[in-house]
Amino acid sequence: MKKQDVRREEMTTAPETHKVNNAQRWSNSTTFALERLPLPYPLLAALVGVITLAEQVLEYSFNDPTFRHLTAEAVARLFVLPIMTVYILIFLRILRGRAVKELERLRPTVLVSDEEYDNHVRRMFDADWRVELALLVISVAIIVGLFVLLRWELLSATSALPAAWPAALFIVAVYVLFVWLLLSQVYCTVRHANGLRVMALRPLDINVFNQDNLLPFGRLSLLHTLPSIGFILIPLLILGMPTQSGYVVILLSLVGLLAFFVPLWGVHQQIDQAKERVLASTYQQFTSIQGALLQGTEAEMEDLDKLTGRIEKLIQLRKTIEASPEWPFRDSASFVRAIAAVVSPLLSFILNEILQTYVMPILQILGAS
C-alpha cells in the first residue's frame, strides 16, 4: 500500500459515534447572537419581521395618519425592510444547516487529521462575542449618525425622526437591529468563506475521473453568494431598480463573485495539478510506445496492432482528462449556470437600463408618430 493511501486512511477513518458527535456539536454551535435567545428560531424570525413591519407602518403614519392615501407602491415599500430582515435570518439558518451536511460529506476529501478538521469547522461556526459586540457598536454609530446627527429622511416617510422620544427610540432600535443583522450576516459569510478557503488549501483527495467528492466545495461557495443576490433582487422585484442605485448593484455583484471564487481557488489549483500529473503519465506512455514503433521490422505485426490500439485508448483517455471539470462542479455546464446565477442581478439591472435608456424612447417615438 502506498504511503499516501495509508495517510489518507489514517486521516479519514473514524468511529461512527465520533462523526455523529461532531455533526451534533456543529449543529448546536451559535453562529450569531440572536440564536442564544430562548425562542424557537421560526418564532424569532417571525417576531423580528412583525416588529420591523410595525416600525415601517409607524413611519408611514407620520405622512398619512389616516392611511387614506395608501397606494400599492407605498404598501410594497413598507414590506421591503421586513422582508430583507427576515431574509437575513433565514439565510443564517440555512447557511449553518446546509454547511453541516456538506462538511460531513467533505470530511473524507480533506486529508488532515480529525482534530485539525474539527478545528477548521469550529472556526467557521463559532462566533466571537467580541466581534458581535463591536458590530453592534458600529450599527448604533451608523444609525445615530445618519438619523440623529445628519437627520436623514426615514425609509417610509419624507421626514426625519419624530419629536416624541418613545417613537424615535423605537425607530432607531429597529434600524440598529437591521444594520446589526446585516453586519452579522457579512461576518458569518466571511467566516464561512474563509474557513472553506483554508480547507481548499489543504491536501485533497482528487480523482480526475470522478470529482463528486469535491462537489460540497462548489455548493457551499455558491451558498455564500445568496446574500448579495437577495439584497439586489428583493428591492428589484418589489419596487424596481432605480437608476441611481447602479453602483450598489455593481458592488454587490462583485462581492458575490468574490464570495463565489475565492473559497474555490485552492480546489481549482489542486484539480489542475492532479490533471497535469495524469496527463504527464500519458505522455510518458506515448513516448515509450513511440520508441517501440520506431524499432521498425524488429516488432511483429501483432505487437504493432496492440500498440496502435493502446495509442487510440490513450488518446481517448487524454481527451477525457482534458474535458473533465476544472472547478468543483459536476460539469462545465453546471459551473456556467452557477456563474450565471451569481451575476443574474447585475444582468437584470443592465437589461433594465438598456430598456429604459434605448428601447423605451424608441417605442415612445414610434408611438407618437
pLDDT at 356: 74
Q: In sequence order, what are the residues at sequence separation of 6 or more whose Cβ sits closer than 8 angstroms to the Cβ of residue 323?
A: none
pLDDT at 172: 94
Residue 359 one-letter amino acid: V
| Res 265 pLDDT > 60 | yes
pLDDT at 126: 83
Q: Which residues of 47-82 are buried (b: 16+ CB within 10 A; e: fewer)?
A: ebbebbbebbebbbebeeeeeeeeeeeeeebbbbbb
| Res 242 pLDDT > 70 | no
* Residue 245: band (very low, low, confident or very high) from pLDDT cuts 50, 70, 90: low
Tens digits of per-residue pLDDT, 177-226? Answer: 999 999 999 899 889 999 999 999 999 999 988 889 999 999 999 998 88
Residue 204: beta bridge partners?
110
* Residue 352: band (very low, low, confident or very high) from pLDDT cuts 50, 70, 90: confident
| Res 17 pLDDT > 60 | no
The packing angle between helices 226-239 and 165-200, to 10°, is 140
Whose grid coordinates read 481557488?
A: 265
| Res 246 pLDDT > 90 | no
Burial class (CB in 10 A: 0-12, 13-18, 19+), 103: buried
* pTM: predicted TM-score of the whole model, two decimal places: 0.81
Cβ atoms within 10 A of the Cβ of 149, count? 9
Q: In sequence order, what are the residues at sequence separation of 6 or more whose Cβ sits closer than 8 angstroms to the Cβ of residue 135?
A: 180, 183, 184, 187
Tens digits of per-residue pLDDT, 87-108? Answer: 999 999 888 888 989 999 999 9
